[in-house]
Amino acid sequence: MAESSSPAALTLALTSQPSVPGMDPHHQDDCPENGLGRGNGETNGPPAKRSRPTPPLSPITAAEIAEEFSHHDLSVARINNGSFGSCPGSVLSAQAVWQRLFLRQPDAFYFNHLQPGLLRSRAIVKDLINAADIDEVSLVDNATTAAAIVLQHVSWAFSEGVFHKGDAVVMLHYAYGAVKKSIHAYVARAGGHVIEVPLPFPVSSNEEIIREFRKALDLGKANGRRVRLAVIDHVTSMPSVVIPVKELTKICRQEGVDQVFVDAAHAIGNVEVDVQDIDADFYTSNLHKWFFCPPSVAFLHSKKCSSSAPCLHHPVVSQEYGKGLPLESAWIGTRDYSSQLVVPSVIDFVNRFDGGILGIRTRNHDKVVEMGMMLAQAWGTFLGSPPEMCCSMIMVALPGSLGVSSEKDALKLRSLLREEYRVEVPIHYHRPKDIEAGRQNGHSGVTGYVRISYQVYNTVDDYYRLRDAVHKLVNDGFNCGMLPSK
């Protein structure tokens, strides 16, 4: 399996090489030197269409799935795939092979294996998200890093006078906490004006979201101000709802918003991602949440640096600075890049399932809706959004009697469920202002929601355990006020 950087050989490498480096390490190190061995963003011929599966002759069985996730704590009802994701044993094994390859002879790894491996992963991502060009795809640690990249660029624009003090950046109220802080750290600090779009919750239609978004844009443009950037979640984290990003992006274009950044941390492997269709300027998603990669890896999709598209930079500057974000991100100093290198192995894994990743997320969605409805019925509560505004996660209202009256209560209740009932599920606290609107909609008394996830390793029993745990708490007259204040 000779690797070299000649065009024919690179195509060969992409299409015929197994997902992990050869199991014969001696042979790997005998590969002819390929000079600087840097993937320079060129593909020659179409890369393997690995993301479109041929239907497996015999799909993965339940027993095989259980084996793949046997490293999970099996005593825990693990219904929080959304926070930290999950990684099957076969992908972890592939990762170990890459890690050992580096440790064995790191110089040979650096010169011969790293860049071709990253290029291969990028090519797969490009197909997965329907990007036009591999040069638009960068691999980074996580969406948090991608946000820093985009927002640092905005910060420079303010400092360098391209944007003016007071120009606005719009974000959703339910934007992820880290992203809100990043906007503060880079935009507000540089003199930008930050506008939050309040979102109704519980929510019942896309129209409610669109309406609030339009109002926020009007506010942004008040007094002749420019809206320089809109940061829109594809799937909000807490509370979790699928946002109509394509429509909102279109509205942004119509309303003269300079740039749109879709923070889709949860999206890939969870909802459909077609970046050409959504047509944002920047789009990021984590591959370790719903796409079975080990911690951690994400992609950032952004147009190639040109007169019409800004030059993004990785904040950690290496000797690759100035060669475009994909190459800058492919070397940010010595570190473990193995989680970025196993994307081909993940494709192998998902292709073992009926319908590949599309099949997986369709079934995940159906199951989480089914389980959500089961819980809502059992508890006499309701869902936070209609099924079509959900993905593989859904919000289910907790009985009001539990008395979740603060974020602290939500955390403590979550700990209680983890420690006493061995159920792992995040809890969202619903603020009083929102409750008033809720009361008007007949949602009185509810202040807390669980966000349940469904991934291939889950079984219905996980959700029955949550159901019963909450039932018990309610029957015992439990109230969050009873928990120690520390």
Partner 1 sequence: MMSPAGASGLPAKPLQPASTHISAAEIAEEFSHHHPSVARLNNGSFGSCPASVSAAQLRWQRLFLRQPDEFYFHHLKPGILCSRALVRDLINAVDIEEISLVDNATTAVAIVLQHASWSFAEGAFRKGDAVVIFQHAYPAVKKAIHAYIARSGGHVIEVPLAFPVSSDEEIIREFCNALDRAKAEGRRVRLAVICHVTSMPSVVIPVKELTAICREAGVDQVFVDGAHSIGNVKVDVQDIGADFYTSNFHKWFFCPPSAAFLYAQKAPTSPPLHHPVVSHEYGNGLPTESSWIGTRDYSSQLVVPSAMEFISRFEGGIEGIQERNHESVVKMGKMLADAWETLLGSPPGMCSSMIMVGLPNCLGVSSETDALSLRSLLREEFKVEVPVYFHPEEDKNHGVTTGYVRISHQVYNVEDEYYRLRDAVLKLVQDGITCSMILSE
Compute the chain's Rg from CA coordinates.
23
Question: In the β-sheet with 448-453, what is the strand arrangement from edge to edge?
Answer: 393-397, 448-453, 427-429
Q: Which is nearer to partner 1, 297 or 391 (CB)?
A: 297
- Whose Cβ is closer to partner 1: residue 304's or residue 418's? 418
For the bound state, the minimum distance from the C-beta of residue 149 to partner 1, rounded and expressed in Å, comes to: 9
Count of beta carbons in the 10 Å neighbourhood of residue 27 = 12
* Strands of 183-256, DSSP E: 193-197, 227-233
- Report how far apart, in Å, the C-alpha atoms of 178 and of each of 142, 147, 183, 245, 262 are: 12, 9, 9, 20, 15
Nearest partner of 282 among 311, 307, 262, 266, judged by Cα: 262
Residue 442, φ and ψ in degrees, nearest 5: 85, 20
Q: Is 32 in the site for partner 1 (CB under 8 A)?
A: yes
CA angle 185–187–191, rounded 5-degree value: 110
* Shortest distance in whole angstroms from residue 301 CB to partner 1: 18
With vertex at residue 449, the alpha carbon angle to CA 445 and CA 453, rounded to the nearest 5 degrees, is: 160
Quote the least distance from Cβ 57 to partner 1, whole Å.
Answer: 30
* Distance (Å, whole) CA 201 – CA 390: 13
Question: In the window 101-160, what residues touch partner 1 (CB under 8 A)?
Answer: 102-108, 110-111, 141-145, 147-148, 151-152, 156, 159
Quick one: 72 or 472, whose CB is closer to partner 1? 72
Q: How far is the CB of 56 from partner 1 (least distance, A)?
A: 25
Interface residue with partner 1 among 11, 17, 29, 378 (CB under 8 A) is 29
User: What 3-state class would DSSP assign to 450?
Assistant: strand
Interface stretch with partner 1, choices 174-182, 207-215, 272-280, 385-393 (CB under 8 A)? 174-182
Under rule CB under 8 A, which residues in 57-76 are in contact with partner 1? 71-73, 75-76
Under rule CB under 8 A, how many of the chain's residues touch partner 1?
73
457 touches partner 1 (CB under 8 A): no
Of 481, 475, 485, the C-alpha closest to 448 is: 481
Residues 274-303 that bind partner 1 (CB under 8 A): 286, 288-289, 294-296
Between CA 366 and CA 363 the distance in angstroms is 5
Instruction: Tell me: does residue 165 bind partner 1 (CB under 8 A).
Output: no
Stretch that binds partner 1, among 117-125, 173-181, 236-244, 373-381 (CB under 8 A): 173-181
Binding pattern for the stretch 383-422 against partner 1, x by CB under 8 A and - elsewhere: --------------------------------x--x----
Nearest approach in angstroms of CB 352 to partner 1 is 20
| CB closer to partner 1 out of 110 and 464 | 110
Closest to partner 1 by CB, 190 vs 248, is 190
| Residue 329 near partner 1 by CB under 8 A | no
Encode 310-335 in three state secondary structure. CCCCCCCCCCCCCCCHHHHHHCCCCC
362 binds partner 1 (CB under 8 A): no
